[in-house]
Copies of this chain bind each other. A is one copy, B any other.
Amino acid sequence: MNGNKLPTIKEIAKRLNVSVSTVSRALHDHPGIGLRTKTRVQELARELDYQPNQAAISFKQSKTYTIGVVLPNLKEEFFSEAINGIEEIATGHKYNVLISQSRDDIQREKQIISTMINNRVDGIIASLGANTTSYEHFTTLKKYGIPVVFFDRVPSLPDFNKVYANMNTGTREAIEFLIEKGHRRIGVLNGPEKMRSTHERIETYKQVLIKKRLKIDLGLVTSTDLTREGTHQAMQQLLSQRPRPTAILVINDYIALDAMQYARKQKLKIGKDICFVSYANLPITSYLETPPMASVEQYPFQQGAKAAEILMELIDTPAKEKAQAPETFQNVVINGTLVIHTKR
Chain A residues close to B by CB (< 8 Å): 1-2, 4, 6, 49, 51-56, 58-59, 62, 64, 73-75, 77, 80-81, 83-84, 87, 96-101, 114-115, 117-120, 142-145, 257-258, 260-261, 264, 284, 286-290, 322
Contact = CB atoms under 8 A, between A and B. Distances in A.
Given A75-B81, A287-B257, A56 B59 contact: yes
A80 B87 contact: no
A117 B51 contact: yes
22 contacts: A1-B322, A2-B145, A49-B143, A51-B117, A51-B118, A54-B120, A55-B58, A55-B119, A56-B59, A58-B59, A59-B59, A73-B80, A74-B83, A74-B84, A75-B80, A96-B119, A98-B98, A257-B284, A261-B286, A264-B289, A287-B288, A289-B290
A202 to B, nearest CB: 26
A258 B77 CA distance: 17
Contacts of A52: 118
A120 B55 contact: yes
Contacts of A55: 55, 58-59, 62, 64, 119-120
A144 B3 CA distance: 10
Contacts of A264: 289
A54 B119 CA distance: 5
A183 to B, nearest CB: 22
A80 B96 CA distance: 19
Interface centre among A51, A145, A287 (most CB of B within 10 A): A287
B284 A143 contact: no
Contact of A96 (B4, B74, B87, B115): B115
A64 B115 CA distance: 13
Contact of A74 (B2, B74, B100, B118): B74
A176 to B, nearest CB: 28
B120 A53 contact: yes
Contact of A97 (B77, B99, B287, B322): B99
A6 B144 CA distance: 7
Contacts of A97: 98-100
A251 to B, nearest CB: 16
A145 B5 CA distance: 9
Contacts of A2: 142-143, 145
Contacts of A286: 261
Given A55-B62, A74-B74, A284-B284, 8 more contacts: A4-B145, A49-B143, A54-B119, A55-B64, A58-B59, A80-B80, A257-B284, A289-B290
Nearest to A68: B96
A138 to B, nearest CB: 15
A74 B64 contact: no
A54 B143 contact: no
Contacts of A257: 284, 287
